[in-house]
Amino acid sequence: MDGSTQALLSIIISGTALVISLLSVLRTRKNHLSGILSSQRLVWAENLRIAVSTFITAMYEGENLAPYRARVFLYLSPSNPKHKRLIDAIDQIYRPSNGTVSLEENCNALVGAAQDVLQKNWWTVKFELGLRKLEESRRDAKVEKRMGKQNAL
């Protein structure tokens, strides 16, 4: 190899190494930000769960629901369609349109709506962290299969 071929080869290898290192830095930054966002989403979900639980307790104890409703609404956005069902369930309890719905029915509707919001949040966290629904389904099937074998013994 002559000097110009070696120089060209050296430039190509250096350029490739530069591109790979830049991609690595960008990937690391994305993973870091995803981890931060995911941890904040988990904190949000736990705080929402506590606020809804406190609202339900106040509902059963016959307390004034206004402060508890406000606390739950601090975690919700009326413009977010994922939150609409939960907002509607809370408003149904806070401002009942008729007296035909029992306390237990209201509570069940509220719990179902809260679980729906929390499940959607959980799937968002999983997606951000790179977990795929199909991969998780396969993993769950393997666990169920193992558990079935253990229970059969």
DSSP per residue over 12-44, as a string? Answer: HHHHHHHHHHHHHHHHHHHHHHHHHHHHHHHHH
Residues of the chain with pLDDT under 70: 1, 26, 28-37, 97-99, 131-136, 139, 143, 147, 149-153
- Total-model pTM: 0.64
pLDDT digits (tens, 9 = 90+) for 92-121: 998 876 667 788 998 999 999 999 999 988
Instruction: Tell me the pLDDT of the chain averaged across its residues.
Output: 82
Q: Look at residues 99, 71, 81 and name the one whose alpha carbon lies nearest to residue 90.
A: 71
The pLDDT value given to residue 110: 94
